[in-house]
Each structure stands twice: as structure tokens, then as C-alpha cells.
Structure 1
Amino acid sequence: MMKKVLPLLFMFILLFSIFISGAASIYASESGLNTSDAHDVEMLQQPLDDIDLLIENAISEQVMPGAVVLVARDEQIVKHEAYGYAARYTDGDFTEMENPIDMQENTIFDTASISKLFTATAIMTLWDEGLFELDDPVALYIPEFATNGKEDVTIKQLLTHTSGFRASTTVPVHEIEGDREDRLDFVLNETLEVPPGTRYLYSDVDFITLGVLIERLSGQRQDEYVAANITEPLQMNDTMYNPEASLKERIAATEYQSNVNRGLVWGSVHDEKAWALDGVAGHAGVFSSAEDLAVFGQMMLNEGSYQGEQILSEEAFELITTNWNGAFPGQDQGLGWELNQSWYMDDLAEQNTIGHTGYTGTSIVVSPNNQSITILLTNRVHPTRNTVSTNPTRRLVSEKTASAIDAWNAESMMSLVERLVDRGEITDTPATQLLLTHLSAISHFESLDQAQKVRKHLQGFQTLVDFYKENNSITDNAYETLRTDIEYLTGKWQ
């Protein structure tokens, strides 16, 4: 009898093991980040589901032809969806393709200025090697940069957009005769618009110069250095400059550029300056997928490391995430990364929230306080850059991510109230105390699983919020944030 049972038992164990490993493969992503249900990381599902409609509405209003959204928390991907088309039009007149290409979760996008984050990271890996100090003059390492009064511009000023350069070059780079080196020489000889350190001026010239600095310090072209020191160690296999032609069907198309006789730009960099620099530049040129960018964001949440790979030292991470632009209110800036920018971070914006946007319609928001990553990738310049702004959509995706976290329970809503106070959106101290007291009571009934009392007290909390709005004790934005989250939390307890 035992001889018959043992083979059966062995087969059962074998089949069970195969089933478990298969199930695990369903929920494990290629990046190493796991896929999870929202409630496993204390997020509400409904706000995340509501992202679908707002993206679909934006597509119907021709804000963009397609998009990919990824939201992660605590190293778990809780939302990863594709919408619309990666390639839809053949020209700038919106002529439909015979066989448009659907957007996929793994579609690769021209990230535009998100490329600056890779440049800044590469620069700080060189800082970790002791090759320069942030306050060193750029001209110490690029002698020809010292022309036209730039001898005192520092590396840190380039990284924080306080060098004094204008937004772009005085003459379009693609109009400069010669090869990549000739065009870089032209950029290095550009003049300043204002003296260094006197104003915040967001500038591509800053980061083109930083790209040159990477090449001078490392002896490698920027794309080679970024691959060897960032994307390959992190196994970001869908992140690159100058994608191979074989990847074209996976890449989101961008603009029909008749002005430079490029036709439909699809599979090569959209930015004309980066294109003129052979697709490799400090300000633009990186192609990536949502999941790869999530790995990059998780590396930042881990303060410079990911899955045993130390990309940045803790000291470099601290420097990157420090606000160096205190002299320019509203322009909070780390090294490359932007800080606390509510215009696209919405309710995720805090003093230590980092992120960046890209002209092609991309954005990434990394929130250390929430341990969350919010990525919106669109091809909004397809087939023309003359489209509706993506910023409202960026804000809404960030808003829904924040709501999924803040409306999880009354305790998390208490943290939201405290943030609103810190931002000056709730100005009445007695009002603050009463709001927190009311939420504390709701939290008590949540702990007892008394749904009816939770709903009843949430109604009372809404009445209180209405009263404070009528008496101008809270801002319109704070009111809408609280009202929305009350609705979500109430829905949880239906």
C-alpha cells in the first residue's frame, strides 16, 4: 500500500510545485517589482480604477493618442494599464494609419526631459568616484567652456538650472554645420542670459553641457556610460538611446516634423537638438518603458540601490534630493530631480517628493513619504506638438494615486489634513483640531468594524468640511481633496 501512495504523493507535490511557480510567474514582473492588489499595500482600488476614465476622456479629447499608467507602492505594482494607440497617424494632418498600433503595457517611449534624470544620476556616480566637487567651475574640466563670461559657472548650477543659460540655444543646434563634436563646441560657446546664481532658468543647455562633462570625466560617450553604470546594472533592458530598428513596432510614434524634413518621427529621438547630436545628449534622448522607469524610481526610493546594485552612495542620494533653490521660491530643485511641484504632482507634492516631466508627454513622481511611484507616459506630440496640454492629466493621475493612499482609512486622512496644514491650505487652528478629532473618532469605529457608524461620522465630517469651506478656513483645493477622499472612504464602507 505504501509503495502505491508514495508515487501518488510525489506526483501531487510535483504538480503543486508547478502550479505555485506558475502562479508566481503571473504576479512577478520582468523588472523584479512584484504585481499586487492595491489593498495589500493599503491603497483603495476605486481611485486607481477611476484613472481609466480620465485617460480615456483625454484620448477622446485628442490630448494624446495613447498612454501607459503605472502606479507602485512598497515595491508592488498596483496599476499598470495601456490605453489608446502607440502609433495612429501618418502625418501632421491626423491622417489615420491603415493599421494603427495599439498601446501596450511594455511600449517604449521617448521620455524627452526625463532623460535629464539619467544625466544627473550619471554625474553623481562620477562624484562618488571623487572626480569633482559640485561647486567646482565647469571650466576646470571643460576649458573651452570658460568663454563668454562663463568661467565661474559651477557644476551644481548646471544641475539646478541656476547657471544663467536661456532655455535653449541662440541658434537651433540642427542648423549648425558639421558633426556632433562641432555642434557640441557651439553649445559650449553659448552666452549666458543672466549672471550665474541670480535666477532659476530651466535650460536644456545646462544638461547638454553636463553630458559633455560625463564624456570628459569618464572617457566614454554618454550613452555608453549610462548603460554601463545605470541601466545594465538595474537590468533596465528597455531603456536606451537610439533604439534599434527592430524595436520600432514597440515604440510610441511622436511628431510629423516637416520643418526639418524628418517626416513621422518614430523610433528616433523627437527633440531636434538631441537628433542633431546623433541621438545622445544630456537633456533628451532616453527611451524607456513604464516598468523600467519604475525600477529607476524604486532605486531612488531605496536611496540609491536596487536588488543588490548600489548605483549611488547615500551621500550622493542626499545631495540629489536636497532643495538647492531656496532662494527661488516655487522652483524647488534637487540635482536634476524637481521637488514639490504641485502642477503635476498634485496631492503627492511634498518637500521631499521628487519627479520630472518630458515634452513628449511623460512624467514620473516618486514620493518617499508614501513609498510610491506614479508614472504617466503619453505620446501627446503624435502627430503634432500643437495639442492640448498634458498637465491636467498629469495632475489627475497624481491626484488619484494620492487619494488611493489618503482615503485608505481615517488615520491616513489625518495625515492628509496635517499635510494640508503644512501647505497653508487649512489656516484655522481650531478647525484643524476639530477635523483631526473627528477623524480620530472615525478611526475608532473602523477598528471596531462598525460600518454604519463609520458612514454616519463620515457624513458629519463632510458637514464640518462644508462649514469650514463656507467660512474660508480651508482653500478650494483642500476642500475638493477632502470631499473626494470622503466619498472614496465612504464607498469602502458601503
Structure 2
Amino acid sequence: MVDGKTTLHTAVGHALRYKAGPVELPASKRVVMKPDAIFDLASLTKVYTALLVLRLVDQGKIDLDAPLRKYLPEFTGTGKGTITIAMLLAHTSALPVGAKVTGLPDNAARWKAVLTTPLVKGGVPGTTFRYSSVGLMLLGRLVEKLTGKSLDKALRDNLLTPLGLKDTGFQPLKWVTDKKRLVATDARSSRGLLRGTVHDDVCNHLGGIAGHAGIFGTAKDVAVIGQLLLNGGTHNGKRLLSADVLKKALTNVNKGRKAIDADRPNRTADHGLGFELNQPWFMGRLAAPTTYGHTGFTGTSLLVSPARKTVVVLLTNRAHPNWSWSNPDTHRVAVHNAIA
């Protein structure tokens, strides 16, 4: 999208090409990708969770600089009392990437494990960028507590409905009528072929609804999120986020901090409150101090370039049939370079 208008919306390849095994399907049984295909957005979910948190900030229900423990006293563990909402959004909490929830008997035990996840060894909150899905799991839990609704319903009522996004949500098998629109991911998992079931294992163990992963949607719907941000928090003339809070969210809050990322050793710590900033490793030549966005493990990405008044959504199913066969960053960079 450029200046609010769709300039390119296309689909290539297949929404389904393999069955469990993985075994490649004959051409007659493959499902061609279409522009209205519904993807597992993976960590793009974090953007939606961040927006829900920012709306609560606008409403005076959350103080970004307050410790999470103020709202969730069950968030316990050594050294965790100083972790603030802002740190969780900026990935400087010193929490690890993931939580250990497998083998636990029920959802209550799994969420307790999330809430009591220890800091990384030697980690000091507020000092270093370490990407953490645990942080967004906790913020999803916070949204539930402060809205009095499950995260899927809070998302629906506070973001999807106001934006008119009918092709976005958790647990798509419950609301997608034409299952051919669902894009397949892993075909070699212990759960068999994944199509309409969340790829992220932790989210799956938590019932498919969590703050770090689990949302499914179309490229068109994701672009609306990008345009909301580009418009300064308004949609069709209606304000969903204040300009002040959004400005804070899109400002680099990690200046001078070290970044630790084993997968991307050349990355910087530049990050807002819920948004990656100026990251050439996926933005390519569209990277700039004001450019922001996010990526998802399944091969998804959202990029917003205010200087160009441009929103770029790239949704791929690189995790079909096997997430390890392809590095999506090369594809992201190639597309963004072509646009640049």
C-alpha cells in the first residue's frame, strides 16, 4: 500500500503442496495460493498484543514504567521485580526466548510455568536486547486481566471489530468456512500436517491463544494494521490510539544497549514498544531510522515506511513442509529491495 491505496496485491505458489510425512502431493491435489489466503501470522501476533497494551495505556489502565508485578503479582522469581511493561515490549526484560510448558497436566500449570519463568543466566532487566516470546505471553495475560476477557475476545472487541477485520483471529478452524483458504505450515511435525492449527508449540500447548503467537490473517487485513500505524492511530477518521502513545511506541527506546541474537549476530537493539526499528536484516534497503515493522517465524512480515507512506506485507509459508529448509530473511530483503 502506498498513501493508503493498494498498489500491488498478488499471490504465487501453493497454500498446500505436501501432506504429512512430508510427502509431496500430486498436482491435482495441491491448493493454489490466492490473494485471500489465511496465514499463520506467528510472531506478527506480538504487534496485535502490543497494540492492545497501548490502548490500555491510553485508557489509563497501564503505566508503561510500572513493574509487571504491580498488575500480575503471580509474576514471581529472583530479579524479576524491576521488569516493567516497557521492558517487555522492548525485549529488554532478560527473560528467555521461550517457556517450558510441555509435559504439564493442564493450562493452569502451563501458565504458572510461564509466569515463573526464570531470567536468563546473568541477565539484568533493562540493560540488553534479547528477543523474548515470554514477554509477550505475559502481556497477553495482562490484557486478559485488565479487560476481563480472554485474549481472543479482547482482540476482537478492541481491535478487529473497530478495524473491520473479518479475516483475522485466533483458532481459525472455528471461524473460517472455506478451509481451502488456510495456508499449510509444517508437514513433518508430531501433530501431522498443520493447516489452521498454530505452528508455535508453546502457543499450541496453551490452547492456541497467547500474546506471542496464534493469530491468523490475510495480507489485506495485516495491511490495515500497518495503515493504522501510518495514519498516526486513526482508521477511517476514528482514533484508536493517541498520537502521543503511538509516538512513544515508534521511538527507539534501546539506544546504546547491546543486542544478543544468536540467529542474527549483526542485528542492533533498535526497537520501539512492540516494533522492530531500522533492521536491514529483514527490511533491506527500506531500512531507515523511521522504518518499523515485525517478522513471524512462519515466514511473515510487516514493514511500514513513513518516509515513503508505504506499507509492505509479505506472507509466505516457508514452514511448509519444513521450517528449516528456507531462511525467510533473504526473501524479505529481496522483496523490500525491489520496492526500494
Under a length normalisation based on structure 2, what TM-score does the superposition of the two structures give? 0.93
Residue in structure 1 matched with residue 282 of structure 2 by the alignment: 344
Residue in structure 2 matched with residue 178 of structure 1 by the alignment: 106
Q: What is the distance in 1 between the residues matched to 2:70 and 2:146?
A: 11
Q: Secondary structure at the match of 2:222?
A: helix
CA contact (8 A) 1:207 1:282 kept: yes
CA contact (8 A) 2:83 2:125 kept: yes
Residue in structure 1 matched with residue 14 of structure 2 by the alignment: 85
Residue in structure 1 matched with residue 56 of structure 2 by the alignment: 126
Measure how far apart 1:95 and its partner are.
2.5
Residue in structure 2 matched with residue 255 of structure 1 by the alignment: 186
Residue in structure 2 matched with residue 187 of structure 1 by the alignment: 114
State the Cα RMSD in Å.
Answer: 1.3
Residue in structure 2 matched with residue 422 of structure 1 by the alignment: none
**Residue-by-residue CA offset, 1:375-410 (whole Å, 9 max, x unaligned):** 1100110111121201111001101111xxxxxxxx
Task: In structure 2, give the amino acid aligned to 1:331.
Answer: A
**Residue-by-residue CA offset, 1:185-225 (whole Å, 9 max, x unaligned):** 11001100111012111011010011111111111111111
Residue in structure 2 matched with residue 486 of structure 1 by the alignment: none
* Alignment CA distance shift 1:222-1:257 (3 Å): farther
CA contact (8 A) 1:254 1:265 kept: yes
Counterpart pick for 1:225 among 139, 151, 154:
154
Measure how far apart 1:233 and its partner are.
0.6
Counterpart pick for 1:361 among 299, 307, 310:
299
The aligned runs of 1:79-478 (5 Å cut-off) are 79-97=8-26, 98-169=28-99, 171=100, 173-179=101-107, 181-193=108-120, 194-243=123-172, 244=174, 246-258=177-189, 261-328=190-257, 330-402=268-340
**Residue-by-residue CA offset, 1:273-315 (whole Å, 9 max, x unaligned):** 1111111101001101011111111000001111123221111
Identical aligned pairs, as a percentage? Answer: 40
Q: What is the distance in 2 between the residues matched to 1:289 and 1:309?
A: 22
Are 2:2 and 1:73 aligned?
yes
CA contact (8 A) 2:22 2:187 kept: no
Mean alpha-carbon deviation: is it higher for 240-249 or for 135-144? 240-249
Q: What is the distance in 1 between the residues matched to 2:74 and 2:213?
A: 23
Task: In structure 1, give the amino acid aligned to 2:38.
Answer: I
Q: What is the distance in 1 between the residues matched to 2:139 and 2:188?
A: 27
**Residue-by-residue CA offset, 1:388-434 (whole Å, 9 max, x unaligned):** 201111001101111xxxxxxxxxxxxxxxxxxxxxxxxxxxxxxxx
**Residue-by-residue CA offset, 1:215-270 (whole Å, 9 max, x unaligned):** 11111111111111111110111111101263421110011253xx3110111111
Structure number with higher helix proportion = 1
CA contact (8 A) 1:252 1:267 kept: yes
Q: What is the distance in 1 between the residues matched to 2:91 and 2:12?
A: 34
Measure how far apart 1:93 and its partner are.
3.0
Q: What is the distance in 1 between the residues matched to 2:229 and 2:195?
A: 30
Q: Secondary structure at the match of 1:232?
A: helix
Measure how far apart 1:76 and its partner are.
1.2
Q: Secondary structure at the match of 1:82?
A: coil
Of structures 1 and 2, the one with the larger relative CO (CA 8 A, separation 6+) is 2
Q: Secondary structure at the match of 1:363?
A: strand
Q: Secondary structure at the match of 1:174?
A: coil
Q: What is the distance in 1 between the residues matched to 2:127 and 2:250?
A: 21
Residue in structure 1 matched with residue 265 of structure 2 by the alignment: none
Measure how far apart 1:152 and its partner are.
1.1
CA contact (8 A) 2:21 2:192 kept: no
Q: What is the distance in 2 between the residues matched to 1:363 and 1:106?
A: 16
CA contact (8 A) 1:304 1:314 kept: yes
- Any stretches of 5+ residues in structure 2 without a counterpart? 259-267
Q: What is the distance in 2 between the residues matched to 1:270 and 1:93?
A: 15
**Residue-by-residue CA offset, 1:2-29 (whole Å, 9 max, x unaligned):** xxxxxxxxxxxxxxxxxxxxxxxxxxxx
Q: What is the distance in 1 between the residues matched to 2:212 and 2:22?
A: 29
Residue in structure 2 matched with residue 412 of structure 1 by the alignment: none
* Alignment CA distance shift 1:223-1:320 (3 Å): same
CA contact (8 A) 1:304 1:313 kept: yes
Q: What is the distance in 2 between the residues matched to 1:335 and 1:227?
A: 21
Task: In structure 2, give the amino acid aligned to 1:125.
Answer: R
**Residue-by-residue CA offset, 1:63-90 (whole Å, 9 max, x unaligned):** xxxxxxxxx1011111111001001100
CA contact (8 A) 1:92 1:384 kept: no
Q: What is the distance in 1 between the residues matched to 2:338 and 2:14?
A: 23
Residue in structure 2 matched with residue 10 of structure 1 by the alignment: none
CA contact (8 A) 1:112 1:270 kept: yes
Task: In structure 2, give the amino acid aligned to 1:353.
Answer: T
Measure how far apart 1:321 and its partner are.
0.3
Task: In structure 2, give the amino acid aligned to 1:114.
Answer: L
CA contact (8 A) 2:127 2:257 kept: no
Q: What is the distance in 1 between the residues matched to 2:272 and 2:333?
A: 21
